[in-house]
Amino acid sequence: MCGCGMATKVWTKLDRTYGRCPGNHARYINGHNRRISGSEYRIEDRGFSTPCWIWVRGHSGGGYAVNHNSKMHRVYYERANGPIPDGMAVHHLCHQPGCVNPEHLQALTMTDHVRTFSTTKLTVEGVAEIRNLLLLGESRSSIADSFGVTKGCIDQIAAGRNWTTPALV
């Protein structure tokens, strides 16, 4: 049995280089060597207000904590807060995808979750300011230039198709 508790495969061919004999079980599942530790995470200061709980077992390509195809930050969120509401995503407040500290996890709508990414140029406050400038009659092109976005982005905000609040006609 693997250190993670899963059953391992049985060798079918003799391989003396690695000590594999037909009929014997493999000692570990490939890639599970870090799963032997009794602790699932280690506590680390990653610059957030409280320490992160960094998952020490399996990780996805994006660095998310995984165990048997489950994203562990979602598991830890649900242990602390109950089921994740439909249409919501679990967001890492600490921006550490390997962190499973429930204090660092928050359920957000997918739209709000995407807005937290580092490539997002606008904030809720910035959009409110854009709406005020539109009401004052400022041109959409000049607003776009001052916020570093396209005129099309400003058009979407004014029409209520982006940053979902009532449209400005």
| Structural domains in the chain (count) | 3
- The number of angstroms, rounded, from the C-alpha of 96 to the middle of its chain's C-alpha atoms is 8
Q: Quickly count: other Cβ atoms within 10 Å of residue 167's Cβ.
A: 12
- Going 64 to 68 to 73 to 74, the CA torsion angle's sign is positive
Domain match, 135 and 87 both? no
Domain match, 63 and 108 both? yes
Alpha-carbon distance of 80 to 95, in angstroms, equals: 19
Q: At what angle do helices 140-147 and 151-159 cross, to 10 degrees?
A: 110
Residue 61 within any structural domain of the chain: yes
Residue 151 within any structural domain of the chain: yes
Residue 51 within any structural domain of the chain: yes
Alpha-carbon distance of 72 to 4, in angstroms, equals: 15
* Assigned token pair, 127: 């959009």
Domain match, 27 and 66 both? no
Domain match, 42 and 29 both? no
- Please report the pLDDT score of residue 99 as a whole number: 93
Residue 164 within any structural domain of the chain: no
- Please report the pLDDT score of residue 167 as a whole number: 42
Residue 169 within any structural domain of the chain: no
Q: Is 73 exposed, middle or buried (0-12, 13-18, 19+ CB in 10 A)?
A: buried
pLDDT tens digit string along 99-133? Answer: 999 999 999 887 777 777 656 677 778 888 999 99
pLDDT tens digit string along 20-36? Answer: 788 887 766 666 555 45
pLDDT tens digit string along 42-52? Answer: 899 988 899 99
pLDDT greater than 80 at residue 96: yes
Domain match, 95 and 59 both? yes
**What is the domain extent for residue 60?**
37-115
Domain match, 45 and 106 both? yes
Domain match, 23 and 41 both? no
Q: At what angle do helices 140-147 and 124-135 cross, to 10 degrees?
A: 160
- Please report the pLDDT score of residue 168 as a whole number: 45
Alpha-carbon distance of 28 to 95, in angstroms, equals: 32
Residue 24 within any structural domain of the chain: yes
Domain match, 26 and 41 both? no
Residue 16 within any structural domain of the chain: yes
Alpha-carbon distance of 54 to 68, in angstroms, equals: 17
Domain match, 138 and 104 both? no
Domain match, 29 and 43 both? no
pLDDT greater than 70 at residue 166: no
Q: Which is nearest to 97 in space by CA: 62, 57, 135?
A: 62
